[in-house]
Amino acid sequence: MGQSTAMDGESGTGPSRLGVKFAALWGCTVLIKLSFAVFLPLFGDEAFYAWEALHPAWAYSDLPGGTAALIAAGTAIAGDTAFGLRWPFVVFAAALPWLVVRMARRVAGPEQAWRAGLWSLPLPLLLPMGVMGLPDAPLTLAALLALDACVGLLRRVSWALCAQLALALALGAFSHYRFAPLLVAGFLGLWAAGGLSLLRHPRVLAALALGAAAWWPLLDYNLGADAAGLKFQLLDRHPWAFQARGLLQPLAQVIVTTPVLYGALLVASFAVLRERFGSRASMPAASGIEAQRGRHLLAVAGVALVLMYAVLAPFADRARFSLHWPLPAYLALMPLVPIWIDAHSRRWVEEWALGLAWLGTSLLAVLMLIPSVPAWAARSAGTPLYADNLLGWSEAAEALRPRLQADDALVADNFMLAAQLSFALDRRPVVFTLDHWNNHKHGRAAQLGAWGYDEAGIARIKPGTRAWLMFEVEETPESEREPWVARTCTWFRPAGPRVVVQGPGDGKRFWLMPAVRDSAGCTGLISGSSQ
């Protein structure tokens, strides 16, 4: 393209130099991710996935088995530490910008491909991706691998691309139920690109069959567990009633993506949609019909996913963090932005978008530092910056560690506290939990029951066994704390005073109580001393 050649001469940033710049910035972001993976305290959900990793299975009540399997592999290689748990997810997330470059090469020139990669690096939502051992990194990697394979298949059907597609579909199936909407978006993109004829090709059909077979373990689990996973993911966690605050989801996406970058993604994608469905082209002619069809696939798949989440937002789960859900869509649309900028000479958009995006990423890095630095974490207590799901667990475990003997039973009042204690106490596999509402709210009650770590398991503890009971105080309303603690009198009698354990900056409290397995009843469990 003439415009690209002129720009190379003026700025001296040809494809090779852009590739070096991309690799350098990518390396810096990976180092930042690795640093957070080492120092960021364990998140509540990833602690539970690490607990699941001690009980290998193809599927669990909350997720397919892929996340737990990655954690098991990571800790087997790098040890039972936060970094050991997280490093496979960092590796998966580190591959995402390179996949953006790869997809862009299929629909644009080399220079625009490197620029697309450079655009993806400061996407704020990408910074925490992979830092924690959560299913989003393999899920997003699976989505981009599948899209890249489909764009390549529009040009030529090969065994390598079909194998990539099969791997991507299997990885997505083992990552999360949330891979299903991505499949719908991908199908719509393939339809818009005129690629449905690929579904008649034997190699493609074989890849799809392998991808479909990867859902069997999840289906088999639900068939044997009264559909516990499906009920939670599709029914229990969603109100399916209109909530006006869900209408703010697009505005929240604009903020977390940064406004200019978000606008550039939408404008570039709508330009391609107008080219596909409209009467006039607003994008430059692609180098070959296959590249043009690839643009159509990426634009429709990306926009469909963004719209899907925006439409569902007023009716779906708003109690959990979901700002990152549309991230695969933004990465899919990224290759279109440099093409649109060059076609309309909007270099100022590039400067402002990248500048604001790097600023947003820097601010997010500072926020992620708060729970990583003990002094900052303590000062954030009582403010919205207090990372509740990351903090307080180490203090609870350290208070328990010198008291706990190998033959003692350990009872936590909710699943998240139990999971954190399991990891902190040398990957202790057995931690019992009370029937807390959080266990049901987060879809973990069925799994605890399957392991025998619920109240039915507590009832089977041998009489006379010493136990340690730990309560996360603020997780129970003050008016309900006394009867909640007294609930343990069904199985235990007190064996000493209560100890109060403070989290960082008094932002969290735990009650630790010694007890003995005895169903004779008890009094005085909520009195005692403090630490």
Looking at residue 323, its pLDDT comes to: 86
Q: Long-range contacts of range 154-158, CB-CB < 8 Å, 24 or more positions apart?
A: 154/193, 154/195, 154/198, 154/290, 154/293, 154/294, 154/297, 155/106, 155/288, 155/290, 155/294, 157/198, 157/201, 157/203, 157/204, 158/203
Please answer whether residues 494 and 434 qualify as being in contact, where contact means their C-beta atoms are separated by less than 8 angstroms. Answer: no
Pairing status of strand 509-517 against strand 492-494? antiparallel
Per-residue model confidence as pLDDT tens for the chain (531 residues) = 334 433 443 344 577 899 999 999 999 999 999 999 999 999 999 999 999 999 999 999 999 999 999 999 999 999 999 999 999 999 999 999 999 999 999 999 999 999 999 999 999 999 999 999 999 999 999 999 999 999 999 999 999 999 999 999 999 999 999 999 999 999 999 999 999 999 999 999 999 999 999 999 999 999 999 999 999 988 888 888 888 888 999 999 999 999 999 999 999 999 999 988 875 555 565 567 888 999 999 999 999 999 999 999 888 876 665 889 999 999 999 999 999 998 877 778 888 899 999 999 999 999 999 999 989 999 998 888 898 889 999 999 999 999 999 999 999 999 999 999 999 999 999 999 999 999 998 999 999 999 999 999 999 999 999 999 999 999 999 999 989 999 999 999 999 899 999 998 888 999 999 999 987 766 544 444 445
Looking at residue 236, its pLDDT comes to: 85
Output the six-digit token pair for 460: 């089977």
Phi then psi dihedrals of residue 493, to 5 deg = -120, 150
Looking at residue 320, its pLDDT comes to: 65
DSSP state of 233: I
Q: What angle do CA 294, 357, 281 make, to 5 degrees?
A: 30
Q: Beta-carbon neighbour count of residue 352 at 10 Å?
A: 17
Looking at residue 164, its pLDDT comes to: 98
Buried b / exposed e across 165-203, counting CB within 10 Å, b at 16+? bbbbbbbbbbbbbbbebbeebbbbbbebbebeebeeeeb
Separation CA 105–CA 478 (nearest Å): 58
Looking at residue 276, its pLDDT comes to: 86
Which residue is associated with the tokens 């625009």?
112
Separation CA 10–CA 29 (nearest Å): 28
Looking at residue 16, its pLDDT comes to: 85
Looking at residue 237, its pLDDT comes to: 84
Q: What are the structural domains, with CATH classification, of the chain?
A: 15-370 (no CATH), 393-517 (3.40.50)
Looking at residue 11, its pLDDT comes to: 40
Q: Beta-carbon neighbour count of residue 486 at 10 Å?
A: 15
Looking at residue 521, its pLDDT comes to: 64
- DSSP code per residue over 176-223: -TTHHHHHHHHHHHHHHTT-GGGGGSHHHHHHHHHHHHTTHHHHHHHH
